């Protein structure tokens, strides 16, 4: 194993504090690593010099073949409910936690490699990843960040120089990902299932210190942690819903304790508003359909609460009672977060308790859904209506009398067009454009990926020459299906 003292000052807090959940491991050797995309603004934010990361040593480091001094690369252990079925042993089957970076603001950030080869958690897989899905995570995670949605970030995509066999040979790649941590609900499930209450106590203290330090001073810190995670997840899912995002695989091993979006596999952005929208090829029952995402998050949080019961109270009945009360805050918090966001999208600063404004926002959703108006461009058309040009929106809606009546009531409330500009993106990663860019990249042309990134990293700024990035998919694009890319 080669080490380097220069490029990344990495600690090994997780590996040291929770060794029972950290299996020391080495990445698979990449024969010809080459940096394909490097997130220079993120590197700078982390206090890193981007230039050395582009070098040959940087490429080896970002594939795990060079290990920073002081780092202990580990595969993390966790369990999880996958589409409702419990798997007691999942873990990092094709990924390694290199360690933790401390950014200039003093925040601790995980550096994690995806596609770095087999580990003991691989369950028969080869542990590798291919270029297209790693670029997908880079593009969509950076778009989500620009949209203001809490998310893991992509630092780099590095080609390995090794073809990976799927249905055909595809170019292999590793994604270097940054997150507040990779603690998941599934991490707690793994420990709870072991019956080791002392380990559960240490994991809970670690999560509190890392993400929700205010919980340490609460009368019952584990209960305060539950409430903090429920609040973070309520706000996160509300933000997903407001931008039309479908995660696609909301298993408990994909729900973070930090409240960040993680794992962009079969994800997609909805076009026409449809609560039943499903894109994932494996979600045959619609468990994680667009409209089901809040309920799925609440279900996952109930599983999290179950893991904390031994720490909440020695009286099991009392523990269940307190946890149930805390979980009851999720729906109210989600509703308040989503409603305030929806009011901002129609330019109203009224309090969430303003029944007339809330009713108006819900009526608009009904009009958009009835006419199958594109969610993203529909709200931009509404922004134009706030400035006096309602014809674009009127050309999209079938029920013109209903829309005109709605517009009259809305104008009487004095919508703020500038607020709408800040709340309604022009550009999101349109599914057809993502696929176009990934296909081109797989064939060796990164131009479409760079152009797509240029659009979605400034999603609220309408710019000439980017018109196609604001348009819905053409009719011949057909039904979109996503897959758990590896």
- Give the integer Cα–Cα distance in Å for 362 and 432: 29
Q: Which long-range contacts (CB under 8 A, 24 or more apart) does 306-310 make?
A: 306/192, 307/185, 307/188, 307/189, 307/191, 307/192, 307/200, 308/188, 308/200, 308/204, 308/222, 308/223, 308/225, 308/226, 310/192, 310/197, 310/200
Q: Half-sphere exposure of residue 241, counting CA atoms within 13 Å on the CB side? A: 29
Question: Would you put residue 289 in left (φ > 0), alpha (ψ -120 to 50) or beta?
Answer: beta
Angle at 206 between CA 307 and CA 247, to 5 degrees: 60
The residue from 92, 253, 283, 374 that is catalytic is: 253
- Give the integer Cα–Cα distance in Å for 439 and 427: 20
- Give the integer Cα–Cα distance in Å for 401 and 364: 13
The number of angstroms, rounded, from the C-alpha of 435 to the middle of its chain's C-alpha atoms is 19
DSSP assigned state of 215: G
- Give the integer Cα–Cα distance in Å for 366 and 369: 5
CB 352 within 8 A of CB 358: yes
DSSP string covering 124-137, please? Answer: T---BEEHHHHHHH
CB 346 within 8 A of CB 353: no
- Grouping H, G, I as helix, E, B as strand and the rest as coil, residue 280 is strand
* Kind of pairing between the strands at 22-24 and 2-4: unpaired
- Tokens, residue 250: 């909301």
292 Cβ partners below 8 Å, 6+ apart?
275, 286
- 253 included as an active-site residue: yes
Active site residues per annotation: 253
């Amino acid at each position: 194993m080669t080490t380097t003292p220069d490029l990344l000052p990495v600690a090994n807090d997780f590996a040291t504090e929770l060794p029972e959940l950290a299996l020391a491991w080495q990445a698979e050797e990449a024969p010809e690593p080459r940096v394909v995309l490097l997130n220079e603004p993120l590197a700078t934010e982390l206090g890193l010099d981007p230039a050395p990361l582009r070098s040959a040593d940087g490429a080896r480091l970002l594939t795990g073949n060079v290990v920073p001094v002081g780092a202990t690369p580990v595969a993390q252990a966790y369990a999880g409910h996958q589409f409702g079925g419990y798997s007691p042993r999942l873990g990092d089957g094709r990924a390694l936690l290199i360690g933790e970076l401390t950014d200039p603001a003093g925040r601790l950030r995980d550096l994690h490699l995806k596609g770095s080869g087999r580990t003991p958690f691989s369950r028969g897989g080869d542990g590798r990843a291919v270029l297209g899905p790693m670029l997908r995570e880079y593009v969509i995670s950076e778009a989500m960040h620009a949209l203001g949605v809490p998310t893991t970030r992509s630092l780099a995509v590095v080609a390995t120089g090794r073809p990976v066999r799927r249905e055909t040979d595809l170019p292999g790649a590793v994604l270097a990902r940054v997150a507040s941590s990779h603690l998941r609900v599934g991490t707690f499930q793994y420990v709870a299932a072991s019956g080791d209450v002392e380990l559960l106590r240490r994991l809970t203290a670690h999560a509190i210190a890392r993400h929700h330090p205010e919980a340490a001073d609460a009368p019952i810190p584990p209960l305060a942690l539950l409430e903090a995670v429920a609040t973070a997840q309520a706000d996160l899912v509300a933000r997903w819903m407001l931008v039309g995002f479908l995660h696609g695989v909301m298993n408990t091993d994909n729900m973070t304790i930090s409240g960040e979006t993680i794992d962009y596999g079969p994800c997609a952005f909805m076009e026409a508003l449809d609560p039943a929208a499903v894109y994932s090829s494996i979600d045959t029952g619609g468990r994680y359909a667009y409209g089901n995402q809040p309920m799925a998050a609440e279900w996952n949080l109930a599983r999290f609460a179950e893991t904390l019961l031994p720490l909440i109270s020695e009286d099991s009945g009392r523990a269940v009672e307190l946890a149930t009360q805390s979980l009851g805050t999720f729906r109210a918090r989600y509703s308040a977060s989503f409603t305030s966001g929806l009011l901002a999208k129609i330019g109203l600063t009224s309090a969430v308790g303003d029944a007339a404004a809330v009713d108006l926002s819900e009526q608009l959703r009904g009009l958009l859904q009835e006419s199958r108006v594109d969610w993203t461009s529909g709200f931009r058309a509404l922004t134009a209506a706030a400035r006096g040009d309602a014809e674009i929106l009127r050309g999209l809606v079938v029920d013109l009398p209903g829309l005109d009546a709605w517009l009259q009531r809305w104008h009487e409330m004095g919508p703020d067009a500038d607020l709408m500009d800040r709340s309604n993106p022009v550009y999101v990663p349109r599914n057809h454009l993502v696929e176009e860019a990934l296909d081109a990249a797989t064939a060796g042309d990164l131009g479409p990926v760079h152009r797509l990134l240029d659009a979605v990293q400034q999603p609220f700024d309408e710019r000439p020459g980017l018109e196609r990035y604001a348009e819905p998919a053409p009719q011949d694009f057909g039904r979109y299906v996503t897959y758990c890319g590896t």
